[in-house]
Amino acid sequence: MSVAVGNAQRPLMDHTQDREATIKALTREIEELREKIRENGRQKREAEEEAERERKRTEKAEKPMQDTTIKEYLDACQKHLFDRLKVEPDMARGPQGGLTNPTKKWCRTKLLPWTNFLDD
């Protein structure tokens, strides 16, 4: 049996083999294209992750240069200064040096309670 292709007569077997070879070639090409799609997707994800890391690095680098709000300033003072101050109730464990000499210097001799502090 033969099949007419164009002006030439080809045996049916050759036609089937050509068809199978074409199918195999197309299948390989489809698989290669799928692999390229997967690779492109992976590269896209990596690029997005790198962009996110770069954005975070930039944000972190710019943060110290930003203006500080009064709340941020007061929080920092509280954290870094006042929280570290401790009152030693046992005078024996306090400073061992003497008191300064206030001669010819203005010095309070009496402290009064500030009773209306919260009202002011």
Does 20 reside within a domain? yes
Q: Is residue 5 part of a domain?
A: no
In a domain, 30, yes or no: yes
Q: Is residue 107 part of a domain?
A: no
Domain count across the chain: 1
How many residues are listed for the chain in this entry?
120
In a domain, 119, yes or no: no
What number of other Cβ atoms are within 10 A of residue 116's Cβ? 7
Q: What does the pLDDT read at residue 45?
A: 97
Distance of CA 80 to the CA centre of its chain: 25
Query: pTM of this prediction?
Result: 0.39
Note whether residue 113 is domain-resident. Answer: no
Whether residue 68 is predicted with pLDDT greater than 90 in this model: the reply is: no
Host domain of residue 79: 11-84
Residue 30, pLDDT > 60, answer yes
Burial, 15: exposed, middle or buried (Cβ in 10 Å; 0-12, 13-18, 19+)? middle
Q: What is the pLDDT of residue 2?
A: 47
Average pLDDT in the chain: 83
Can you tell me the mean pLDDT for 58-73? Answer: 84
Which pair of tokens denotes residue 48? 């997005």
- For residue 49, being part of any structural domain is answered with yes
The encoded tokens of residue 86 equal 């401790």
User: Is pLDDT of 113 > 80?
Assistant: yes
Q: Which residues does 11 contact at the CB level (< 8 Å), separation at least 6?
A: 1, 2, 3
In a domain, 16, yes or no: yes
